[in-house]
Amino acid sequence: MPGLTPSQTVGPFLAIGLPWPDGPFVVPEGTDGAITITGRVLDGAGDPVPDALVETWQADPGGRFSHPDDPRGAAAAPFRGFGRCPTGADGSYRIVTRKPGPLPCPDGRTEAPHLDVSVFARGLLDRVVTRIYFPDEGHANVADPVLASIGDPARAATLIAHAEHGAAARLRFDIHLQGEHETVFFDV
């Protein structure tokens, strides 16, 4: 059996190889029902991380994936589900997408709507993985098995985006790699 290839950092020069012009647009800007998720990636000193890459992966609004390992069959319409945005000088990223639907678990429970997130950067020898949940899904979030597994509600709250100026279509999600407000990261 071949041995797994180890991870290495993306280094400081990922911007020459990884950004795509359409990367931040899971759906085209202006799509009906589009939402925008913006935020900053911050280091342990609270300084912006200007050389990171944020990637998102999610279900479509019906909770389906355009993927053969979704055992429920084909999604209603193709949905890219993937977003990718390098951070700017101020550590900010921006993803335009649609809100995913809830997802069934093998044990019959339901996962609240969420995006899986990978962050790559100089100084990260492996990606770090987190999730973005939605502020208008209070009941679903309480029942979500992953949020429940975190235990400490204050820590779990680091995974819930904020509606900017109360607008459900404009969400803010900062990623604190380290420090007092460190985001919850997962062993995937």
Nearer CB in complex with another protein: 14/170: 14
Which range, of 37-45, 90-98, 135-143, 164-172, touches another protein by CB under 8 A? 37-45
Residue 23 φ then ψ, to 5°: -55, -45
CA–CA gap between residue 131 and residue 186 (Å, rounded) = 8
Q: Of these, 150, 157, 172, 174, which contacts another protein (CB under 8 A)?
A: 150
Cβ atoms of 128 and 169 within 8 Å: the answer is no
Q: Is 21 in the site for another protein (CB under 8 A)?
A: no
CA proximity to 79, closest of 57, 103, 99, 60 = 60
CA proximity to 95, closest of 20, 17, 44, 3 = 20
Q: Is 11 in the site for another protein (CB under 8 A)?
A: yes
Q: Of these, 94, 127, 170, 172, which contacts another protein (CB under 8 A)?
A: 127
Q: Is 188 in the site for another protein (CB under 8 A)?
A: yes
Which range, of 30-38, 125-133, 135-143, 164-172, touches another protein by CB under 8 A? 125-133
Site for another protein in 46-85 (CB under 8 A): 47, 49, 51, 55, 57-59, 65-67, 69-74, 80-82
CA–CA gap between residue 37 and residue 164 (Å, rounded) = 10
Site for another protein in 161-180 (CB under 8 A): 177-178
Q: Is 104 in the site for another protein (CB under 8 A)?
A: yes
CA proximity to 82, closest of 113, 60, 63 = 60
